[in-house]
Amino acid sequence: MGLLSSYLKLNFLGLFKFLNSMNWFIVFFSLINLSMCIYEDQIGKFDWRQTYVGRIKFAQFDTVSTAKKLIVATEENVLAALHLKTGQVVWRHVFESASTGNIQLLHVSDKIVTVSGSNPYLVRGWDSGTGVLLWEWSLTLQDNDRADFSEWWVQQGLLVHMLPAFNSHIEVTMYNLLTGHNRGATSKLPAPWVNEGCVLTPPFYSCISGNVGAQRLLSLDVTSNVVQIISKPLFDYISLDIFEGNLRPLDANSAVPGFIIDDKKIVLIKNNDFELLSVNVADASASASIIDGSNGALLLQAWTDNTLGFSLVAHNVNTGQEVSELKCSDRNLRIPEAEIAAVMCTKTAKEQHACRILVNGADDAIHLMQQGGRVLWTREEALANVVAAEFVDLPVSETEAAIESEFDQKEGSIWAAFSRRLQTQFQQLQTLLHSFQHRDRTVENSSSNNLVRDYFNLHKILVLVTDVGKIIGMDNLSGEILWRRYEPSLDAESVAVFTRRTAWHPPYDAYLTIVGKHEETGNGLVISLNPINGELVGERVLELDARLLQCAMLHRADEEKLHGLAVLYEDESIQVFPVSSERLVEDMYIYVADRETAKVQGYALKYDGKSASAQKIWSVALGGAGSAGHRIVAAAARSRLERTHSPGRALADRSVLYKYTNPNLVLFLTEGPDPVHKEVVRAVAVDVASGAVAAAAAHRRARALPLAVHADNCLAYLYRSDKHRRLEIATMELYEGKERWLPAGAAFSSFASERAPAVQRQAYILPAGATAAAPTVTERSLTDRHVLLALTTGAIVEIPWAFLDPRRPAMPTAEQREEGLLPYAPELPLPADAVLNYNRTVHRVRALYTHPAGIESTSLVLATGLDLFYTRVAPSKTFDLLKDDFDYHLITIVLVALIAASYSTKYFASRKMLKMAWK
């Protein structure tokens, strides 16, 4: 009875407690799971951000303020100040990415003046030290059509606006720089000789005009009150037989107005007259600029030769003598199409020149050099325009590779295995001793030596393909650039990157292929390289003979563990690289979606014993029949790396809701006009092997955003609802139902299943603008799934799929609550602690890339855009890792103390027993 009563008491207590706290428990645990923020001391521990400004358009040295800076304005509509010693961004303003943010003029004096936008223009003054906006006024031109031909410059505190009317006249207007007050009316200068080839070298406007054979070189100071045209026959300066009509101004805010005729002769304008320089242009591609030197003006020229590398020469303008201390020639420095962006020279005590030269290359990299050609710093501004990124595994260390190869060899007698064992252990001992000897040296070049896989496979190499054609390999933990390769012929508009062999197969090296277009011909271009060191391998740089429709990587590897690359040409023929992999073409399907017509076509690849061929097997018009104007906005396939080890969801009644995990499913998002509802967005999930439509949804009066997420059986996409004027995110989940269609571990075939999955749909309001979206990917997809969204505010937020779950019921029953379904709420919460990049704003995120780490809990994230941001996320917390602040010392002390205590008590106990026995 006593037992029973004690049972009952405890039980009543427990029951009561449980019933009371059950709901709170769910809420509490879900909250624990959902808070994802990091501690203050973890800032920068797992993540890094690199800020970029884009390709330099204008650059000027800020010589006025005490802290010397470089002020740049870029093609990405960014105004920034760079630190002169390190190249770091001191301050930065990111303007609108549309034409309203285009920077037309950068003028640096004691204040910085910019003209940005395109009719209306905004004239702004900035403080050069802090980047604070000082004044702003706007300016609207009457003649909107010709506004694009406007030229701007600042002269004696006045903003000069010049608008040429070809073959007619030039309009010049001057404004007060601070107020925008118009000093006088617009003056029209008659100039019937003005044409498209004219160049502006403030304040002179120069043209070559006249009939062939009798051209004249004309120049006009447009700001002077008196119209004075300098007109000279062209043959005074250049032989007319070989003249091609090319006129270009000197670069980098030349101290004396001047221009280069036909890449050969340099003509300066001095005292209202032309002056031909005795120094010829050193190279046709040379960039030239005039600077004020210690004794007279200097002509500075920089160019890159294919064999001789980068060269820089300086000549005295008056004497024509070469200035030796500025000269440099570096065979190893490759700056394609080097261009002098800005120069600043000061005189030292010994009448020497101390110069800082900013050189801009065609690969968007900027280099700051000092006299003699020493590069102080380099900024890879190409990274502001990353178009594709790939995470590549690192190879194992040599010792580990030796161990693996040892265990790989199955054949051989027991004695052979024993000797091999001894050998490898001897090697290991050697390397250990070696590492002790050279420890101090290895620390220095750790970056190159430490490129080995770590235990959790968190250390990888990021291969970034940029818009300009530069391919960059980057260490993902430090963000350090390991290698760079410039491929000027690569048109990276639509580029595909495949890791055709990972580094998991020693002795073979990793193999990465980039498929793009050739810049000039538009034919396919295949670049194969080793992603670890950036060296070309295999096909190297291969230009194909025809234009490409699409490409795919074969799923079966050859004997060298290399996956073949199949390219589908415009004429629907295929080619496989390497040719020996052709026989491995089997069960392979390629789909091609045409963006503009919203048509998707599927091809089956076959190998008939001699050659591989492609056969068109299906075609789907996603816009529907007879609905023109539909276009595909986004296509989202599952990640190639995704392996799903969770076949279903356990419900509250302990039955299983089986997922429809079709690995061949692709989500297409289209938008187009609709006769009734203005615009309509359609989301269609197509099995691209068979062409069957698995699920579809339509949203009326909406416009799609090019953001779609597809992982496992979860689909999500964004659209802008015109009806409600808000951004919405719609989600779909596909289920087979409570009965499974195939037994566990069976092979899924798109052609064998004729049943349609059950589709759950839901839409939520996103209270922010989004620019990129990606799902988290983990090793086995057992971890919760989160959706990462890059917002226009510069934040990257992590939304748990539980919030986006289309099964969220409006009024959850007890069972649904037990399952963990949250009640439906239309608006998605975006809490501040879900922001991955805390206060490190990343501007204009264009894409998010996710990759699984070696541990199940963690997914690696890279955000590209104007900035690069890398971090790692653990959607279900790091359940397979010890906490960051795990107290190793404490647990060691406790363990040691416990062991000591147990042994001492054992001793004392035995002594006491002995004493007792003698009593």
Which window, 71-79, 200-208, 744-752, 900-908, contacts another protein (CB under 8 A)? 744-752
Question: Judged by CB under 8 A, which of 284, 782, 882, 898 binds another protein?
Answer: 782
d(CA 51, CA 98): 20
Q: Using the rule CB under 8 A, is 650 a contact of another protein?
A: yes
Residue 741 vs 838, nearer CB to another protein: 741
Segment interacting with another protein, rule: CB under 8 A, options 106-114, 230-238, 658-666, 800-808: 658-666
Q: Which residue has the tokens 């990587």?
A: 553
Instruction: Pick one of 549, 694, 729, 796: the residue that binds another protein (CB under 8 A).
Output: 549
Output the smallest distance, CB 798 to another protein, in A. 25
Residue 575 C-beta: closest distance to another protein, Å: 14
Nearest distance in Å: CB 532, another protein: 25
Please, which residues have CB within 8 angstroms of residue 175's CB and are 6 or more apart in sequence? Answer: 123, 139, 158, 159, 161, 181, 182, 183
Burial 272-289 (b: 16+ CB within 10 A, else e): eebeebebebbbebbbbb
What whole-number distance in Å separates Cα of residue 195 and Cα of residue 213?
17
Torsion of CA 625, 629, 630, 632, to 10 degrees: 130
Instruction: Decide if residue 545 touches another protein (CB under 8 A).
Output: no
Site for another protein in 18-57 (CB under 8 A): 18-19, 22
**Nearest to another protein of 650, 895 (CB atom):** 650
Q: Counting contacts by CB under 8 A, is residue 814 touching another protein?
A: no
In 558-662, where do the E strands start and end? 563-569, 574-577, 588-594, 599-607, 612-621, 631-637, 648-650, 656-659
β-pairing, 859-864 vs 169-176, is unpaired
Shortest CB 109 distance to another protein, Å: 48
Per-residue contact track with another protein, 506 to 525, x per CB under 8 A? ---------xxx------x-
User: Please, which residue, 480 or 587, has the CB nearer to another protein?
Assistant: 587
d(CA 748, CA 14): 47
Residues 577-636 that bind another protein (CB under 8 A): 587-595, 603, 632, 635
List 138, 321, 580, 646, residue binding another protein (CB under 8 A): 646
Options 98-106, 276-284, 655-663, 852-860: segment touching another protein (CB under 8 A): 655-663
CB nearer to another protein: give 418 or 748.
748
Radius of gyration over every alpha carbon of the chain, rounded to an integer in angstroms: 34
Structure tokens at 770: 């989004």
For 898, the token pair is: 């416990």
CB of 783 to another protein, least distance (A): 13
Residues 6+ apart with CB under 8 A from 76: 53, 54, 55, 94, 97, 384, 385, 844, 866
Minimum distance of another protein from residue 726's CB (angstroms): 28
Residue 15 in the binding site for another protein (CB under 8 A): yes
The single residue among 294, 442, 644, 878 that binds another protein, judged by CB under 8 A, is: 644
How far apart, in Å, are the Cα atoms of 513 and each of 561, 580, 613? 15, 17, 22
- The residue count for binding another protein (CB under 8 A) is 72
Residues of this chain, 436-495, that bind another protein according to CB under 8 A: 494
Residue among 414, 625, 747, 810 that touches another protein (CB under 8 A) = 747
Q: Rounded distance, CA 790 to CA 869, Å? A: 11
Q: How far is the CB of 593 from another protein (least distance, A)?
A: 5
Exposure of 436 by Cβ count < 10 A (0-12 exposed, 13-18 middle, 19+ buried)?
exposed
Q: Is 436 helix (H, G, I), strand (E, B) or coil?
A: helix
331, 421, 643, 726: which one binds another protein (CB under 8 A): 643
State both tokens at 137: 């006024």
The interface region with another protein, picked from 136-144, 282-290, 537-545, 647-655 by CB under 8 A, is 647-655
* Angle at CA of residue 405, ends 399 and 407, nearest 5°: 110
For another protein, which residue of 169, 547, 583, 701 counts as binding (CB under 8 A)?
547
Q: What is the closest distance, in whole angstroms, from the C-beta atom of residue 513 to another protein in the complex?
A: 13
> From the CB of residue 215, how many other CB atoms can be counted at a distance below 10 Å?
18
Q: Which two tokens stand for residue 468?
A: 């300009």
DSSP structure class, residue 663: T
Residues 128-160 as b or e (16 or more Cβ within 10 Å = b): beebeeeeebebebeeeeeeeebbbbbeeeebb
Which residue of 247, 656, 693, 770 would you call a contact of another protein, by CB under 8 A?
656
Q: Say how many residues make up the chain.
A: 919
Q: Binding to another protein (CB under 8 A): which residues in 550-569? A: 550-555, 566, 568
Closer residue to another protein in complex, CB, 98/641: 641
Nearer to another protein, 204 or 591 (CB): 591
Site for another protein in 751-770 (CB under 8 A): 751-752
Cβ 473 to another protein shortest distance, Å: 24
Among 481, 557, 651, 770, binds another protein (CB under 8 A): 651
Least spacing, CB of residue 745 vs another protein, in Å: 3
Least separation in angstroms between CB 876 and another protein: 14
Please report, as residue ranges, which positions from 76 to 105 form the binding site for another protein (by CB under 8 A): none
- Give the shortest CB-522-to-another protein separation in angstroms: 8
List 541, 693, 698, 742, residue binding another protein (CB under 8 A) = 742
Question: Site residues for another protein, window 852-911 (CB under 8 A)?
Answer: none
Beta carbon of residue 731, minimum distance to another protein (angstroms, whole number): 22
471 in Cβ contact with 529 (< 8 Å)? yes
Are 882 and 891 in contact by the 8 Å Cβ rule? The answer is: no
Out of 748, 879, 903, 907, the residue judged to bind another protein by CB under 8 A: 748
Which of 74, 287, 664, 713 lies at the binding interface for another protein (CB under 8 A)? Answer: 664
The Cα 113–Cα 60 span in angstroms is 11
Of the two residues 663 and 854, which places its CB atom closer to another protein in the complex? Answer: 663
Rounded-to-integer distance, Cα 652 and Cα 100, Å: 55
Q: At what angle do helices 414-437 and 398-408 cross, to 10 degrees?
A: 180
Backbone angles phi, psi at 412, to 5 degrees: 105, 155
Q: How far is the CB of 571 from another protein (least distance, A)?
A: 12
- Segment contacting another protein by CB under 8 A, of 132-140, 196-204, 344-352, 645-653: 645-653
Task: Give yes or no for a contact between 846 and 856, defined as CB atoms under 8 angstroms apart.
Answer: no
State the Cα–Cα distance between residues 815 and 464, nearest whole angstrom: 48
How far, in Å, CA of 669 to CA of 260, rounded?
Answer: 51
Cα torsion 142, 144, 150, 155 to 10°: value is: 30
Among 207, 392, 689, 774, contact with another protein (rule: CB under 8 A): 689
- Residue among 338 and 600 whose Cβ is closer to another protein: 600
CA dihedral 750, 753, 755, 760 (to 10 degrees): -40
Q: Which of 180, 534, 647, 854 binds another protein (CB under 8 A)?
A: 647
**For residue 771, what are its two tokens?**
């620019």
* Site stretch for another protein (CB under 8 A), options 363-371, 663-671, 803-811, 904-912: 663-671
Interface residue with another protein, options 399, 489, 750, 816 (CB under 8 A):
750
Beta carbon nearer to another protein, 242 or 747? 747
Three-state secondary-structure class, residue 181:
coil
- Residue 10 in the binding site for another protein (CB under 8 A): yes
Binds another protein (CB under 8 A): choice among 31, 242, 676, 744: 744
Q: Is 813 in the site for another protein (CB under 8 A)?
A: no
